[in-house]
Amino acid sequence: MGVIVRTGARATIPLIGIFGAYIVAHGHLTPGGGFQGGATIAGAGILFLLAFGLSEMKRHFNKNLYSALEGIGGLAFLGAAMLGIGTAFFYNVLWHNGPFFNGKPGTLLSAGYLPIMNLAVGLKVFTGLVSAMVGLALYRRWRK
Amino acid sequence: MPFIVAFVLSYLLWLVLTAGTNGLLWSTQELIAGLIFSLIVAYATRDVIGEKAGRFLNPAKWIGFIAYSPVLFWGMVKANLQVAWLVITGKIRPGIVRVPVDLENDAQYTILSNSITLTPGTLTIEACPEEKALYVHWIKIPEGMERLESSEPVAGPFEKWARRLGR
């Protein structure tokens, strides 16, 4: 892309990233949540891919890191769901008698395991979508 | 330095988004969460934001941007009325002109190009830093202005501002 798009992307990619993080972190308070925020952050990654091109993306994209982070996101979701396995699967033990995440409803540290699950889903969606887009962009050529 | 710029930018946006959680101010939880997320975002985007972005942390530059906003707004108002007149009368003479500019870096080109695009009637199509020129689509080229020597007829005072703001 041209110089204007690239400079604009330089300024907006951190802003898109922090806005996506805001959506993910406030998933239990405001509209949005893990998927929507993760897709927003993935938009920043795709903007990087489009504005700077595939060769620059190849230098910054670490396949193993993204793959590992996607797995960690899924495992964190499962781990939060297993916390209350003594009562039932998905039992919100952090909310009922946990050490943290049990503040007054409406504050950031409330709603038990929901913030953890939102962060896990956001991480998984972000890494998964960016990996998928890079994988499509890297597809060898139009015609065999 | 790029890390600090990205951190300040993202933390400012976080503060704007979460204002009002404690009365009109911010609750401690939000401030700490914003700190953590901003650090992560800044670490992830430290290579993206550019090596010399630190110059935009200069408060003199912020005052410059604030002083620029009424200039840009007034230019937009004037040009919108002009285009409304052109729509009613239908007397247009469209074409693409090459505008030579005297700018050094990408930020200056971006500010000038966006200002030209925001003032209706002119639309930046391509910025060429190699040949120090912008290609601008102009809705009504005055007679004899097909080959420009400076950016004055297209951009007005914007080139001076862009040079100062992006330096």
3-class DSSP string for chain B: CHHHHHHHHHHHHHHHHHCCCECCECCHHHHHHHHHHHHHHHHHCCCCCCCCHHHHHCHHHHHHHHHHHHHHHHHHHHHHHHHHHHHHHCCCECEEEEEECCCCCHHHHHHHHHHHHHCCCEEEEEEECCCCEEEEEECECCCCCCCCCCCHHHHCCHHHHHHHHHC
Domain boundaries, chain B: 1-55, 66-166
Distance CA(A144)–CA(B15), nearest Å, equals 51
Q: Are residues A108 and B21, on separate chains, in Cβ contact within 8 Å?
A: yes
Q: Are residues B37 and A18, on separate chains, in Cβ contact within 8 Å?
A: yes
Longest dimension (CA), chain A: 60
Q: Are residues B44 and A17, on separate chains, in Cβ contact within 8 Å?
A: yes
Chain A nearest-CA residue for B42: A14
pLDDT of residue B17: 86
Q: With beta carbons under 8 A apart, name residues in chain A contacting B108.
A: none
pLDDT of residue A144: 63
- Please report, in tens digits, the pLDDT of each residue of chain A (144 residues total): 888 888 888 889 999 999 999 999 888 888 888 899 999 999 999 999 999 888 888 888 888 999 999 999 999 998 888 887 878 788 877 777 777 777 777 777 788 888 888 999 999 999 999 999 998 888 877 776
The backbone torsions φ and ψ at residue B104, rounded to the nearest 5 degrees and listed phi first, read -105, -45
Q: Are residues A15 and B45, on separate chains, in Cβ contact within 8 Å?
A: no
Chain B nearest-CA residue for A59: B47
Distance CA(A54)–CA(A43), nearest Å, equals 15
pLDDT of residue A102: 76
Closest CA relative to residue B80, chosen from B50, B121, B115, B49: B121
- Candidates B40, B106, B126; nearest CB to A7: B106
Q: Bigger pLDDT: B12 or B148? A: B12
Q: With beta carbons under 8 A apart, name residues in chain B contacting A103.
A: 29
Quote the percentage of chain B above a pLDDT of 70: 100
Is residue B105 scored above 70 in pLDDT?
A: yes
- Candidates B45, B124, B127; nearest CB to A13: B45
- Candidates B10, B18, B110; nearest CB to A17: B10
Residue A30 touches partner B, C-beta closer than 8 Å: no
